[in-house]
Amino acid sequence: MLLPHALVLTQLVLILTLILTLILTLTLILILVQSFVLAQRRSCLKLEFHNVNDLMEVRRELMPVIKRRQEKGDRPSSHEMMDEGKEIVNMLDVIVDIREYDVPYTVRVCIDKEIRAGQFYNVTTTSDSNITLQPKTLQVKPNPKVLAFDIECTKAPLKFPSAEVDEIFMISYMIDGQGYLIISREVVSEDIDDFEVREF
């Protein structure tokens, strides 16, 4: 029979062994995850274009090559792509994907030039017909009009409305705090009592 001190000491050793095992397991998992992330890291090439036509032309050239490669599952390994001793004969051999090709031109310009919606700008033209934008500091903020609306449609249970079959039976809208309701008498035959709209 173990003495109480020896029993406590045995339990402490067991707990410490479990803690060390847990720490070693977590360390191994972190090393594996880090190795996986590093293996997935790829070099990227950023292309910039002077106009949309150039962008579309390059996209037309690249998309078929990338689609063929993805269909065949043909992806060059990290070693093939990073091997400094290997000369790349054709750059298309190492391109495995294309990103942000579907971002609309106006959105891309706003992202790159940090043009924000709702911000006012001073717009000036330069002698070479370029435009400069400077954020404008307003003394008095504008008071915009706000319009919100909602449309209710008939529909089959658990389905989305279909334009061919379903019809709009109610439109509610609100402008500057005043609410309105338009209903179809073919669907809603009873009168609707006045109601109060509350702002949250």
Q: Provide the β-strand partners of residue 133.
A: 123
pLDDT tens-digit readout, 133-186: 888 887 787 787 888 999 999 888 888 888 888 888 889 898 887 888 888 888
The pTM of this model reads 0.40
111 has a pLDDT exceeding 70 = yes
Share of the chain above pLDDT 90, in %: 2
Cα separation, 9 vs 4, whole angstroms: 9
- Give yes or no for a contact between 170 and 188, defined as CB atoms under 8 angstroms apart: yes
E strand or H helix at 59: helix 52-72
Q: DSSP letter string over 66-103?
A: HHHHHHHT----HHHHH-TTS--S-GGGT-----STTS
1 has a pLDDT exceeding 60 = no
- Rg (alpha carbons) of the chain, rounded to whole number: 32
> Residue range 86-98: average pLDDT?
72
Where do the domains of the chain lie?
A: 42-141, 145-200
- Give yes or no for a contact between 180 and 172, defined as CB atoms under 8 angstroms apart: yes
* Alpha-carbon dihedral 64, 65, 71, 74, rounded to 10 degrees: 180
